[in-house]
Chain A
Amino acid sequence: ETGVTQTPRHLVMGMTNKKSLKCEQHLGHNAMYWYKQSAKKPLELMFVYSLEERVENNSVPSRFSPECPNSSHLFLHLHTLQPEDSALYLCASSQEAISGGAETQYFGPGTRLLVL
């Protein structure tokens, strides 16, 4: 596997289900991100993990729960979602320098989620 992978690629779930999205990066990066892409809206940053610690949470509802067990893996746990949460969820990774800058984020193929 190369780059950033995401599973599953497609997911249909009911509002009472619990599911998890998985992201794995094979680039040796130290930062990982979750984005939400809804139709007709710009990409929205949800969570940022740097060196396995959450450094950003953009006012995301608690029904979305991220987990970063190590620098290569990132999960997004979903529970009691709403139909408006249906979207493409994209994972990205980057190699951030402590001195700052803005390194390139590399994206996975996304999980297309439909909440019924």
Chain B
Amino acid sequence: AQKVTQAQTEISVVEKEDVTLDCVYETRDTTYYLFWYKQPPSGELVFLIRRNSFDEQNEISGRYSWNFQKSTSSFNFTITASQVVDSAVYFCALSEATTGANSKLTFGKGITLSVRP
């Protein structure tokens, strides 16, 4: 069975601070995919990144960066120089590779990030 743990439930920072959101996963598969989604107050889950288990390179996209460490089963997300618009709930998710025609996402409980001006 697969599992995603986001141990932090709520984080509050002041604008321009850097913040790291932790994600730890469990799976028995050697091939799997990891995702991060952002859910602003409007409710829609916004896709941020997809990473497969064979690609351990860290990713940077503007102020966002992701650190994938297979040795510790972690896929952490860092926001540099946070802004008020970054305030949202952030979900980490895991999907095992399927041979069928659908993918099943297992989500963590989410981390509520509040960025204060």
Q: A-side interface residues toward B, CB under 8 Å? A: 30-31, 40-43, 45, 48, 50-51, 55-56, 88, 90, 92, 94, 96-110, 112
Name the residue in B44, B47, B91 with the highest tally of chain A Cβ atoms < 10 Å from its Cβ: B44
Interface contact A102-B47, CB-CB below 8 Å: no
Contact B97 A102 (CB under 8 A): yes
**Main DSSP-derived SS at the A contact region:** loop
Q: Which residues of B contact A30 (CB under 8 A)?
A: 101
What chain B residues lie within 8 Å of A99 (beta carbons)?
Answer: 99
Instruction: Decide: B98 and A101 in contact? CB cutoff 8 A.
Output: yes
Instruction: For B101, list chain A residues within 8 Å (CB).
Output: 30-31, 50-51, 55, 96-98
Instruction: Count B interface residues, CB 8 Å.
Output: 27
The chain B residue sitting closest to A30, CB to CB, is: B101
User: Is B50's CB under 8 angstroms from A104's CB?
Assistant: yes
Contact B107 A43 (CB under 8 A): yes
Among A96, A109, A112, contact of B102 (Cβ-Cβ < 8 Å): A96
From 74 to 95 in chain B, residues with beta carbon under 8 angstroms from any chain A beta carbon are 91, 95
CB-CB nearest in chain B for A97: B101
Chain A positions within 8 Å of B50 at CB level: 102, 104
**Chain B residues, Cβ within 8 Å of A96:** 101-103
> Which B residues have a C-beta under 8 Å from some C-beta of A?
32-33, 35, 37, 42-47, 50, 91, 95-105, 107-110
A104 touches B97 (CB 8 A): no
Question: What are 6 A-B contacts with C-beta separation under 8 Å?
Answer: A31-B101, A42-B109, A88-B43, A90-B43, A104-B47, A109-B43
Give CA–CA (A55, B103) in the complex, Å: 11
Q: Is the CB of A109 within 8 A of B42?
A: yes
> Which residues of the other chain, B, contact A90 by a CB distance below 8 angstroms?
43, 45
Question: Chain B residues near A101 (CB, 8 Å)?
Answer: 33, 97-98, 103
Q: Are A107 and B100 in contact (CB under 8 A)?
A: no
Shortest beta-carbon distance from B47 to chain A in Å: 6
